[in-house]
Amino acid sequence: MQEFFRRLALRPLLTFEVSAATLFITILSLASPLFVIQVLNRYVSYGFSGTLITLTLGMLVAIVLQFALRIIRTNLASLISRLPDFNLAQRLMLALTRSRSLPLSNIPKSRLHESINALQSIRSAYNAASISALFDAPFGLLFVLATFYLAPVLAWISLGGMLLSLAAAAGALVFTKRIFGPLQNATIAHRGQFLSLVNSPDTVRAFHGEEFIKESWDDQVGTLSRLFLKDAGVKEFNQSLTMSLNLLMTVILYAVGAVQVVQGNLSVGGLIGANILAGRAFSSTTRFAQTVYQISKADDAFQEMKKLLRLPVERSGGTALASYKGSLELNHVFFSFPGVPTSLFEKLQVKINAGQTLGVVGYNGSGKTTLTRLIMGLIEPVRGEIMVDGVSLRQIAPHWWRKQVCYLPQEPSFLNCTVREAITMADSEIDQARLAEIVGLAGLRSFLDRSPKGLDTPVIGGGGELPTGIRKRLALARALAVDGKLVVFDEPTEGLDEEGCQAVYQVLNKMVRDQKTVIVVTRDPKILQGIDLTLDLGVKPVPTLTRMKKQGLS
């Protein structure tokens, strides 16, 4: 409920307006039992038609006013959550786009997906209907006060039924909280397995993955079924208990009220009116309890989302050099992943002057891709410094720095967009002539000519629908769209045919002619023969740097 009160505090005027609207709605709701009482006590007793017409017209006016006020209140209540919901969505987007790569990558994809579900749960919990139900609850006591005016003993019965309903809801809430954590963890685990099935259909079929995954799948489904059954059982028990309490209260009200009527302390109209009032009070309590239950689950989901929102984020500011000449120095860089006892490299010392080329080699897992991510500023060294034209990369503004680097990752991925948008994402102001040149340099022209939509061909699923070679060429084109002084390519010819490799060689030759600083992770001997320096990360713990006899790219 803390989030609910926080939202009310953000919009005090709206809160007052919703409260006022709820008060008038509640007062107008009293018209219905009063109408019944007056019809039974006055019209039925005396048969005067003018009384019936007057009461009916008054009731019709009350119905119209109540309808209009409910519409107005719904619109006002929706405004209370509009800004907080928007801000929360923005915070989630920023956490996903600006959190540091290393902490973010340690969160399972299925748990990240759960954050989106949590956002929807929070929106549903604090929608206009829920806010209205929470406002209705305290004003529902007006129905009890009106019952006190008719028959105090019936009012006490009504109040007792409300308290019993709240007690039942509180008990159900306590039990539900106990199973929320296990249920969420089981859901996340099952979603993770489902995602692995969806993302790897060929692996499942080609390597008999069905048998491997069946046992754990059945266990997860069984666990989820048991937890969902418990959760549904609690809900059903609470709903049945609430309905039974409502019926019990009605029986007791009529039984006690009948005695009051016989004793002359209450009219028949008063008895029926009191039952209507008690029903309204009980209904507001029931809606309140259901809303609190929904908010409680949303708050639990919000606590899980906060783990993502609390991740450290990249700097939004920093130094932007007037111009970057292209030099880069790694000064005693040490890096190891959290929780891993061994380091990838220690005291890494490399100085690359502007216009020089560096080839990075080493066995799989030696840290080649990690080095490219360090240079890009996606992760930071545990110790040591990466210097950019003599300035520490820790002080450089990340946004500016990444506009200085033509970056081609080993395993490129893309956002859902078109080919045009994928290429120009880092620089949307590229003109058509430059875009056509980039497409030609990356060797994408023949693919686009075969595609009916050309540059507007959709890229979905991170580019997984594209052939490996096309995906690599698209990533090369995206890198070329950033006209930086530093080039960082990670296995640029891996997965490419001869035509694709030739495109990469031509690009690298052009980069060298343009006096750009080139760092390339590769096992391709044709590339290695054309570089100035070779860094071997396979030598542990301190990699070796060798000056090469440059021969030029083939």
531 and 440 inside one domain: yes
CATH number at residue 237: 1.20.1560.10
290 and 398 fall within a common domain: no
User: 452-478: per-residue pLDDT in tens?
Assistant: 888 999 888 788 788 888 999 999 999
Compute how many other C-beta atoms are within 10 angstroms of the C-beta atom of residue 395: 11
| 257 in any annotated domain | yes
Does one domain contain both 294 and 332? Answer: no
Domain for residue 73, yes or no? no
pLDDT value of position 111 = 75
Residue 144 is assigned to a structural domain of this protein: yes
Kindly state whether residue 175 falls inside one of the protein's structural domains: yes
**pLDDT score of 368:** 92
The answer to whether position 197 is within a domain reads: yes
Neighbours of 358 (CB within 10 A): 21
Whether 289 and 375 map to the same domain: the answer is: no
Number of domains making up the chain? 2
DSSP string, 264-310: TSS-HHHHHHHHHHHHHHHHHHHHHHHHHHHHHHHHHHHHHHHHHHT
Residues 302 and 338 in one domain: no
- Looking at 280, 309, 338, the residue that finishes a domain is 309
Both 419 and 454 in one domain: the answer is yes
Check whether residue 431 and residue 491 sit in a common domain. Answer: yes
Rg for the chain, CA atoms, rounded: 35
Look at residue 478 in the predicted model and tell me its pLDDT: 93
Boundary residue ending a domain (259, 280, 309): 309
Question: Closest by alpha carbon to 523, among 512, 534, 510, 507?
Answer: 534
Which structural domain range is residue 501 located in? 328-547
475 is a domain residue: yes
CATH at residue 451: 3.40.50.300
Same domain, 273 and 341: no
With tokens 């004793």, the residue in question is: 263
Considering the domain architecture, whether residues 343 and 268 belong to the same structural domain is answered as no
The pLDDT score that the predictor gives to residue 345 is 85
pLDDT of residue 551: 56
pLDDT score, position 549: 62
Q: Are residues 367 and 485 in the same domain?
A: yes
Q: Does a structural domain hold residue 229?
A: yes
All residue ranges of the chain with pLDDT < 70 are 207, 549-554
- Whole-model pTM: value is 0.76
251, 281, 309 - which closes a domain = 309
Shared domain for 212 and 168, answered yes or no, is yes
Evaluate whether residue 13 is within a structural domain: no
Same domain membership, residue 343 and residue 265: no
Per-residue model confidence as pLDDT tens digits over 5-51: 888 898 999 999 999 999 999 999 888 888 888 888 877 777 777 77
